[in-house]
Structure 1
């Protein structure tokens, strides 16, 4: 079988545009998901039963349902309540709520891995519970959780391909568009796969370098 990639001369901008959309969706999804995940992690380890239950229910529901179903509910289902989101915003919301559920468990595990003696020492010095968490526990937990956060970013980059189902011109959508124009089923997908690999491989190397730098400090 002979592969023909000559179409890239005319369609490389389509792929570039799609890759840029993919990176934007992934960046905002992980950023907002991390912030939301911290909140759910703190609720998960809270002594208040109602907060703990709400966070646990959220995490189990989101992790137990497919992201494709979630994006359809957010983009199409919310119209029943008069909420009409653009495909791009619906994509960010979906990636955010999905990432938050996984990041909440990452942060919970990271927080609980910190020696409780440090918390007790901070409290004995007069620091409040919130100050101890913000100044002592979370900075150490973040350093330990950096590999897991990086892995979540990589997963979100790949899972963002599902957002193409609501018409966002991200990378997978761009590949399918090129397929329809040149009538070649394989080559446009191979190009998309190569771009996904370059993005995830580059990110993993950058995060590895950051992790080593933090470890040596």
Structure 2
């Protein structure tokens, strides 16, 4: 009777993680002992902070907009629902790279024209100088593009999480006299967050990888620093091995953390369910 669980445990052992850890250890040793790998790592790692900054800011803004879109999509107002649906369907149908180019080379110039038109009296009075397209940072154009692109996907994550909450509890809260905002804040969101958290974490990991697209604008992120070094030294294998290594440290580390959090939440739910049953 005890043999089956042991076999299952042995089969479930994360051998892939052991293999990945061995490769990571090998590359870490190379970075420490090999001058070439050490030099590449020191140059490439300068772009890590840009990658992290773009991801954190873009994801935070995308989460806020996604939550707003989800609430609009579940609103009683037909106009709000249709606006949210239009945004989500259109943005989800555009590749992130195309959206990046559109925001960088169409949206930014359009914003500059609109801004200068709005500020014409102040510009003519000499209070403000006219804004130039080059004044709009390429990094912020990339952040805005990632924000817009991911907000549509995150909106659907929030919508699914909100719909997963038992309608009976919402009706009970309504009977107790809670307002719509109070019901959402105290009843819906705390329960929905358990459903939302895993896919939201997956979107965060995906944004870390998609942040590499900002390199096409010349933003000095991790990928761009690797591209610059490789094009000058022709050490493509070593350079992109290090670039992939750093990305994997970020994404696999976060993925393992997310899995641990999911298991902890699942265990807490089981204990709560067992306690209420008892």
The TM-score with structure 1 as length reference comes to 0.92
- Name the counterpart of 1:202: 253
- Name the counterpart of 2:265: 214
**Structure 1 unaligned residues grouped into runs of 5+:** none
Whether 2:84 is the aligned partner of 1:44: answer no
Kept after mapping to 1: 8 A contact 2:54/2:143: yes
- Name the counterpart of 1:79: 109
- Name the counterpart of 2:188: 137
For the pair shown, the structure with the greater C-alpha radius of gyration is 2
Aligned CA RMSD, in angstroms, stands at 1.7
Whether 2:142 is the aligned partner of 1:91: answer yes
Relative distance call for 1:186 and 1:11 in structure 2 (3 A) is closer
The within-5 A match list for 1:105-144 is: 105-144=156-195
- Name the counterpart of 2:38: 9
- Name the counterpart of 2:201: 150
Match of 1:26 among 55, 61, 80: 55
Kept after mapping to 1: 8 A contact 2:230/2:236: yes
- Name the counterpart of 1:163: 214
Aligned partners of 1:80 and 1:37: how far apart in 2?
Answer: 24
1:175-208 deviation per Cα after TM superposition (whole angstroms, max 9, x unaligned) = 1011012112222112111111110011112222
Task: Using the TM superposition, name which of 10-19 and 126-135 deviates more.
Answer: 10-19
Q: Does the residue aligned with 1:7 lie in a helix, a strand or coil?
A: helix
Match of 2:239 among 181, 188, 192: 188
**Structure 2 unaligned residues grouped into runs of 5+:** 1-29, 114-132, 269-278
The TM-score with structure 2 as length reference comes to 0.73
- Name the counterpart of 2:18: none
1:126-158 deviation per Cα after TM superposition (whole angstroms, max 9, x unaligned) = 001111011110111112111101100011011
